[in-house]
Structure 1
């Protein structure tokens, strides 16, 4: 979830209820957003998408009487509730939907919104392909609670000459005119909203021929990407091994196929069921087999981030720091000890640079922070270093047993730092309070001889 270069959701404004989970603070909203059904049409000429999204939700409290959305760069044309068109108003960045009657708790309702959005931070258009980027809120009417998960049904109208990919499973491809078809994707397992996404383009497809889960690579034609099926096969040759490695460490397998979409430039971003990776990274890898970090990093997010998701940005390191560490661990598995140490040394170098620039912060917080408050060097690099030190402290057997217990316990759930700490303590029978106080919640920078 990032433009993570070289190793490195319009949202609902809701009232929040603050509760304490052990030592960590999490926020619970008044609404459970259950399902999103979107029907959209991208336009390469105007660099925009237009369509509808139907959002199914259930209030946790009685008498909910309105919804407020961040309109951002989107133009809202109409809002429907119970099939009736209802009024909305725009006040600054907000448009406010006044519901016809107060809603009851624990009952499912839906609103349908017609909208259009031009190219913005959430959309990247090129002449032959387009794709969505983080945040989902920038291209789809949604909210931005990091841990909230929902199912997704996405229909994309696009040219016959192009291929579309979305979350979950392709359930239909229907020709609707002489030049266009509709591809429909369904994600039936709830996923974090920030992992909603799609891509459309003139892509070639290469299947990696792995057993169990099918892994494929979509890439642009050779004339534009300088990539061929043979080069793609060479660059992504280790994906089956990566899959096996991460499954063994997490204790569970992927439940659906996976794809890499190779796009123009530098890009490395996870979505659910696929990831976006940049052509420039692929060419770098073709010249140096050790530069496979971006393939491993985005795949690892299927377990740590997409399935097991940090409760909020205070615990973002559980998404990113763990995955940076897992890339290092995978390199150890594939290339040997020196490659592992090199990755940890690189993380330490980034941390030391942040110290010199006075950009030091805790890895995790006991208070809720917002995305803009994240210190990414600490979340990514020091977060990875924390897992390295935990492994050194506990030893391989207890460390990997703890990680597997953590992963299996919180599969499909949201987590806090305390959740991780508790599992590691239960498995290892080691009190980690002092360790987490110093290295995770504190700003102390470790000195490690790599």
Structure 2
């Protein structure tokens, strides 16, 4: 059943705004030259100070990494940050160009290396300073505020120490290990002891009201200025049910001991262990409690995206199409079949409008270096719609058994579309070459 026009328009407006604010950062980052395939970052340890009023930052990052012993340099992404100094036993110099830093390495006898990079900057994207509200928060991409490897298939552990005014609160990726006071400043130390891609790292700083709940062993935190704790609890009341649903469908428990959601600014972005959602979005949910697609979408990324990650952006639909589909599937679970069909119909209409305009493409992109608005719509909405079609093709049991098999097999790993296809085929015993060729590798009908 289709949804009323006004509701469809409202949904499309919200989700398309979400799409624009989340994905615009991918344009710049993906224009980079490919990194050395042998580079494997093991961990980042960051010390960061932000100046909200002056929209600037100063940081020092320690990077442990593996690289071939014969490699004469290692390349990291650095946006428009200004590198002041790079030190390390094997470092002989560095050069910054085209939003990358090329670190020259001396001869060595092992693959493991350690370097420390000191830098500063006044980024205009990737991190959003809101001086009027005394807030700052991160969105894609991490290299705008920390020197790192942006490649989504390079997973590493992460530690961040943030120095902020004692009157503010801080939420970041990982687990809060400890805090310490120093005059009017507080040092927050967050540690993520499992590996994930650098684009999943982030933080938010501000003065927030807070509501807290527990779901089994998971602490659920809800933050936002302009909302009372009672309203925050109302907005995010279904979070525990979402965790249950995604754990059941994936066959994998939520990986951290807490999950935080923050209503802040004008963006939507998933990060390890927390998400930021547009501040005004909370009012939409309060007006219509069934409009939780973006809450469930961001939470779904804690499985599909953050932990099961496309190996490069050409397979981006595996992140976003899956999360968009899962938000509709959750709606079906809670609100019934009609709500699911309403969501799928919305996705189909977006896809068909692109196709009617002659801008349809295969879901596996040959190049993601300069995606259009239509390209971004395709990975989200065509991706979700095609997963719905796959569900119809396989039937309930085979489809969901396949999703669980795929999720368990590749949790904590990077994947491409062929990995997904083979997992679904192995689980179901079906040859899906024709379906994937038609709908994913080619343009579909």
TM-score normalised by the chain length of structure 2: 0.89
Residue of structure 2 in register with 1:45 after alignment: 53
Query: Does the CA contact (< 8 Å) of 2:263 and 2:280 recur in 1?
Result: no
1:177-326 correspondence runs (5 A): 178-220=183-225, 225=226, 227-256=227-256, 257-265=258-266, 267-326=267-326
CA distance in 2, matches of 1:14, 1:358: 30
Residue of structure 2 in register with 1:129 after alignment: 135
Query: Does the CA contact (< 8 Å) of 1:14 and 1:29 recur in 2?
Result: no
Q: Partner of 2:275: helix, strand, or coil?
A: strand
Residue of structure 1 in register with 2:8 after alignment: none
1:336 lines up with 2:343 in the alignment: no
User: Would the alpha carbon gap of residues 349 and 53 (structure 1) be closer, same or farther in structure 2, given more than 3 Å must change?
Assistant: same
1:117 lines up with 2:121 in the alignment: yes
Q: Once the two structures are superposed, what CA deviation does each residue of 1:381-403 show, in whole Å capped at 9, x if it has no partner?
A: 11111110111111111111110
Residue of structure 2 in register with 1:25 after alignment: none
1:150 lines up with 2:156 in the alignment: yes
TM-score normalised by the chain length of structure 1: 0.88
User: Would the alpha carbon gap of residues 133 and 91 (structure 1) be closer, same or farther in structure 2, given more than 3 Å must change?
Assistant: closer
CA distance in 2, matches of 1:151, 1:233: 31
Q: Once the two structures are superposed, what CA deviation does each residue of 1:162-197 show, in whole Å capped at 9, x if it has no partner?
A: 111111100010112x20010000000001111011
Structure 1 residue 246: Cα displacement: 0.6
Structure 1 residue 357: Cα displacement: 3.0
CA distance in 1, matches of 2:98, 2:346: 44
User: Mind listing any 5+ residue stretches in structure 1 that lack a counterpart?
Assistant: 17-27, 446-450
1:64 lines up with 2:74 in the alignment: no
Residue of structure 1 in register with 2:416 after alignment: 416
Query: Does the CA contact (< 8 Å) of 1:310 and 1:316 recur in 2?
Result: yes
Q: Partner of 1:431: helix, strand, or coil?
A: coil
Query: Does the CA contact (< 8 Å) of 2:164 and 2:187 recur in 1?
Result: yes
Query: Does the CA contact (< 8 Å) of 1:119 and 1:125 recur in 2?
Result: no
CA distance in 1, matches of 2:121, 2:427: 49
Q: Once the two structures are superposed, what CA deviation does each residue of 1:240-267 show, in whole Å capped at 9, x if it has no partner?
A: 11110111000011121110011023x2
Residue in structure 2 matching 1:36, options 44, 67, 76: 44
Query: Does the CA contact (< 8 Å) of 1:7 and 1:293 recur in 2?
Result: no
CA distance in 2, matches of 1:296, 1:404: 18
CA distance in 1, matches of 2:98, 2:141: 20
Residue of structure 1 in register with 2:356 after alignment: 356
Structure 1 residue 86: Cα displacement: 5.2
**Number of paired residues?**
419
Residue in structure 2 matching 1:78, options 74, 81, 85: 85
User: Mind listing any 5+ residue stretches in structure 2 that lack a counterpart?
Assistant: 1-13, 20-25
Structure 1 residue 205: Cα displacement: 1.9
The alignment yields a C-alpha RMSD, in angstroms, of 2.1
Q: Partner of 1:218: helix, strand, or coil?
A: strand
CA distance in 2, matches of 1:205, 1:182: 20
Residue of structure 2 in register with 1:140 after alignment: 146
Structure 1 residue 66: Cα displacement: 2.0
Query: Does the CA contact (< 8 Å) of 2:44 and 2:63 recur in 1?
Result: yes
